[in-house]
Chain A
C-alpha cells in the first residue's frame, strides 16, 4: 500500500571499474566481463576506477586539488546522484536536504610513509626523526583529505547540500546504517529528502595492508566471488563511489520526480560471527519483512565480500532461499562503505528496467520474469549483517 512517507530512490550516482553513471553500469552488467588491474599490487588484483570526467561534477580545479581520490570519487558520484534526481543546483532544496555519508579514512602520502619507515631505524634519535619528518614532509592540507567527515564537507562545498551532514564509520555496516537511518528519518517526518552514500578508493596500499593483516586478500586466480570459495575465497578490493537520493513519496510527487524504486525495509544487526550467528540474524531480518516480501518475483543482490567464513555461510543462507542471486562484489569488487548503496542502486535499476541482469558467473541462476522485488544482503568482511528489501515504487 503506497504511503506518503515511503522512502523512494529518486536519484542514483555510481562510478566503478564498470564506468561512470547508471547507463554505463547497466550496459556493462548486461555484457559482463571482469575489469581487473593485476599490475599495480602484485600478487593481488584490484578493480580499478574507470576514467572520470571530474570537471562535469567538480567544476573548480581548486576544489579538485583540495581533495584526494576517495573524495573526488565521492563528490563526483554525489553530483551524479543529484543530477539524476533532478535537484542539482536547486539551492533552496539542497539547503533542506539531509546527508549521511558512510566513510572510512582518506589517502595517506605513501611516499612519505615509506621514506620515514626507511630512515627511522638508522636515525640516531628515532623519536626526533619521526617528529622532524612528519612536520617537514606531510602536506598541511593532506589532513583534510584524511578526515572521514571531509567527504561530506566537500559535498557541502561543491554541491551545496547543507540541511544536515553526518558521517558514519564502520565499513559495510556504516553504509547499511546510513540508508536505514535515512529511511527512518523520512518515515518519521524528520526530513523529506536525503543524500546517502560513500566512496572507496581501492588503489591504496594501506587498504591492502589492512585487509592482508587479516590474511584475507585473494591471490590468483581471480575468480568471481562464489567460484572463488572452492579455492579458499578471499577479497578483491574495488574502487567504488555510489550515492542515492532518497525522498518521501509525497516530496517526490510534489516535485514530479520519477522514482526508480522504493526501499521497503532496511534491517541491520551484528553478532560475534560464531558459526551460524550471521545466518540467524539474516533469518530474523527476513522474518520482519513477512507480509512485504514475496519470493515469487524476487531476486537477490548480495554484498558477499569473498571473506571465506561469512561468504560460505551467506551462500548457504541464500541457497535455502532459492532465489536468483547476483553478487555485486563480482561486478566491482569489495568496497566497504559504499557497498550497500551500490547494491541498492543495482536493485533499483533492475526493478525500474523490469529485468535482472544476466548471471555474473556459472553459480548464479538466470531470471526471465521481471523482478518486482530485490533483497539486498550485506555481511561485512568482519562484522555487521544487513538486509534490505527494494520494491517497485
Chain B
C-alpha cells in the first residue's frame, strides 16, 4: 500500500471519480470504446448556418440540449452531466453536498448574437441599431435572466448551487491549458491541507459562429471539411490546423488518506503538475521551446520522477503545424534519445480540440489509458512528418503497460501546463 504522503511529504492526491462527455458520447465507457477503435467524433456543423465559412466542421455535442442555448448554458449542462458521473463513481458526499471546493475551467463568457438580435428586435429601432438602443431595450424589457447568465460567475455559481461544493467556486481560463490549470489548483489545495477533496471540471461548448470565425481568422483551424473525420491529423505532415470541439471532464480529487479512510476506490494518482508561462508571443511558442521543456521538467520534478519513468505521453497534439512541431521539440529535449520510442498520441485526432475542457478530458483519457493498458491511437496519421519522428501510436490502438504518463496542455497567451498521472501501483 503506498504512503499517504509523497516524496516531498505532501498529501498524495488521487482520483476517485471521473466523468467525461465528448462528441463521441456520454460517459467513460462509450468514450473509451470509441477512442480505442479510432472513431472520430468530428461532423458537419448543423447548429447554425455555415454558408460562407471556410471551416464547416466541428466536434459538436449535438445530443445534449438546453432551453435557451448559449455557450455558458451548454457548458453548464455538460459540466452537470460529467459531475454526476464523477461523483457517482466516487460515491462521495451526499447529493447536493460535495465535501470540497469547485475548480472550474470555463470558456470566457459574453453575450452572443442570439441575445443581441433579440435585444435589437425589442428595441424597436428600425434602421441603424446602436448599443444605446440595446441598453434602452434592456431597461424597458425583461432580460434579467441574461444579466446573470452572461456574468462570468454564472456557471460556477450554478454548479455550486446544484452540487453543494464548498466555498467560492474558482473559474479559471488559461485558454487551451485551462483544464490542466484547474487540476493544478485542486492538487495544490489538497496539498496545502485546505481540503480533503476537490471537484475539478473542465467544460467547453462554444462552437458558435463568432467563436469559429475568431479561430478561423487566426488561421488556426483545419479547412479539410470532407470528410469531417479526416480533418484532425496531429503529427501528420499534411496537418493544417485544429478542429474546434465541445466536451467536458470532471475529476474528483482526494487526498489518498481521505480516500483510504472512506474505502474509496483509487482510479489513479495525480503525481505532479508543472507550469511555465511563455513571454515570447501571444500565439506562438518561444522558438527554442524552453518554456515547454521547463514545464515538463517541472512536472516531473514535482512528481519526483525522471523522464525514464514515463511510459506514455498524452500529447496536446492539436494538429496545427506550429503546436505539433513545438511539442516535439519540447518532448525530444526532455526525453533525449528515448523521445522517439515513448508513445505519444493525440486524443484530439478523434475528439477534436475541446479547448477549455481539453486538459481535464485528456487527463481522464490518460487515466483510462493507464487503467486499461491500451494506448489510444492518433488517427489520420497518413503522411509521416520526418521532422517529428514520434511514435504517435498511428491509427490503431495498441496494448502497453503504463505506470506513469504525462498529459500536456498548451494555450494562447503562453500558457503551458503538464500533469503527471500514475497508476498508484
CB distance from A246 to the nearest CB of B (A): 16
Give the residues in chain B near A162, CB-CB below 8 Å: 276-279, 291, 414
Q: Which of B138-196 contact A (CB under 8 A)?
A: 138-139, 143-144, 146-148, 150-153, 156-157, 160-161, 167-175, 178, 181, 185, 188-189, 191-194
With contacts defined as CB atoms under 8 Å apart, how many contacts are there between chain A and chain B in the complex?
251
Give the residues in chain B near A120, CB-CB below 8 Å: 117, 120
Contact of B217 among A143, A152, A212 (CB under 8 A): A143
Say whether A130 contacts B171, CB under 8 Å.
no
Q: A120-B117, A147-B413, A169-B109 are in contact. Are A161 and B277 (CB under 8 A)?
A: yes
Q: How far is the CA of A270 from the CA of B170 in the complex (A)?
A: 11
Give the residues in chain B near A167, CB-CB below 8 Å: 172-174
Q: Chain B 105-130 against A: per-residue CB contact (8 Å), 1 yes, 0 no?
A: 01011110100110111000001111
Q: How far is the CA of A167 from the CA of B181 in the complex (A)?
A: 9
Q: Which of B401-417 contact A (CB under 8 A)?
A: 411-415
Give the residues in chain A near B413, CB-CB below 8 Å: 147, 149-150, 152-154, 156, 165
In the assembled complex, A366 has its CB within 8 A of some CB on chain B: no
CB distance from A45 to the nearest CB of B (A): 14
Q: Which of A7-38 contact B (CB under 8 A)?
A: none
Which of B47-55, B224-232, B237-245, B254-262 binds A? Answer: B47-55
Closest residue of chain A to B141, judged by CB? Answer: A213
CB distance from A303 to the nearest CB of B (A): 14
In the assembled complex, B306 has its CB within 8 A of some CB on chain A: no
CB distance from A85 to the nearest CB of B (A): 18
In the assembled complex, B91 has its CB within 8 A of some CB on chain A: no
Say whether B171 contacts A170, CB under 8 Å.
yes
CB distance from B199 to the nearest CB of A (A): 14
Q: How far is the CA of A216 from the CA of B148 in the complex (A)?
A: 12
CB distance from A224 to the nearest CB of B (A): 23
Say whether A210 contacts B213, CB under 8 Å.
no
Give the residues in chain A near B169, CB-CB below 8 Å: 170, 270
CB distance from B351 to the nearest CB of A (A): 22
Contact of A140 among B139, B153, B217 (CB under 8 A): B217
Give the residues in chain B near A127, CB-CB below 8 Å: 48-49, 51
Say whether A206 contacts B151, CB under 8 Å.
no
User: How many of chain B's residues touch chain A, expressed as a range?
Assistant: 35 or more
Closest residue of chain A to B281, judged by CB? Answer: A157
Say whether B135 contacts A157, CB under 8 Å.
no
Q: How far is the CA of A114 from the CA of B406 in the complex (A)?
A: 46
CB distance from A180 to the nearest CB of B (A): 8
Closest residue of chain A to B280, judged by CB? Answer: A157
Give the residues in chain B near A165, CB-CB below 8 Å: 174, 275, 277, 413-415
Q: A128-B51, A153-B413 are in contact. Are A147 and B210 (CB under 8 A)?
A: no
Residue with the greatest number of chain A CB neighbours at <10 A, chosen from B53, B153, B185: B153
In the assembled complex, A211 has its CB within 8 A of some CB on chain B: yes
Say whether A153 contacts B160, CB under 8 Å.
no
CB distance from B144 to the nearest CB of A (A): 6
Q: Which of A41-82 contact B (CB under 8 A)?
A: 41, 66
Contact of B168 among A163, A187, A215, A269 (CB under 8 A): A269
Q: How far is the CA of A214 from the CA of B151 in the complex (A)?
A: 11
Closest residue of chain B to A140, judged by CB? Answer: B217
Give the residues in chain B near A163, CB-CB below 8 Å: 276-277
In the assembled complex, A199 has its CB within 8 A of some CB on chain B: no
Q: How far is the CA of A261 from the CA of B135 in the complex (A)?
A: 42
Which of A252-260, A319-327, A341-349, A379-387 binds B? Answer: A379-387
CB distance from A218 to the nearest CB of B (A): 12
In the assembled complex, B1 has its CB within 8 A of some CB on chain A: no
Give the residues in chain B near A116, CB-CB below 8 Å: 113
Say whether A209 contacts B138, CB under 8 Å.
yes
Q: How far is the CA of A185 from the CA of B189 in the complex (A)?
A: 9
Q: A99-B277, A105-B110 are in contact. Are A174 and B282 (CB under 8 A)?
A: no
Give the residues in chain A near B332, CB-CB below 8 Å: none
Q: How far is the CA of A386 from the CA of B192 in the complex (A)?
A: 20
In the assembled complex, A205 has its CB within 8 A of some CB on chain B: yes
In the assembled complex, B387 has its CB within 8 A of some CB on chain A: no
Contact of A206 among B121, B131, B147, B153 (CB under 8 A): B131
Give the residues in chain A near B412, CB-CB below 8 Å: 144, 147, 149-150, 153
Q: A135-B216, A156-B277, A165-B415 are in contact. Are A148 and B173 (CB under 8 A)?
A: yes
Say whether A132 contacts B52, CB under 8 Å.
yes
Closest residue of chain B to A128, judged by CB? Answer: B51
A residues whose Cβ falls under 8 Å from a Cβ of B = 41, 66, 99, 103-105, 108, 110, 113-114, 116-118, 120-121, 125, 127-128, 130-132, 134-135, 138, 140, 142-144, 146-150, 152-154, 156-157, 160-171, 173-174, 176-177, 180-181, 184-185, 187-188, 190, 205-206, 208-217, 268-270, 272, 380, 382-384, 386
> What are 20 A-B pairs with beta-carbon distances under 8 A?
A105-B108, A108-B110, A130-B113, A131-B53, A135-B213, A148-B108, A149-B174, A153-B413, A157-B280, A164-B277, A165-B174, A166-B174, A166-B181, A167-B174, A168-B170, A168-B172, A169-B173, A184-B194, A190-B191, A270-B157
Nearest 5 A/B pairs, CB to CB: A153-B413, A127-B49, A214-B147, A205-B131, A165-B277
Known pairs A144-B218, A162-B279, A165-B275; list 15 more (Cβ under 8 Å). A110-B131, A117-B129, A130-B113, A131-B209, A135-B216, A140-B217, A147-B108, A153-B412, A153-B413, A162-B277, A164-B275, A168-B171, A169-B153, A190-B192, A208-B131
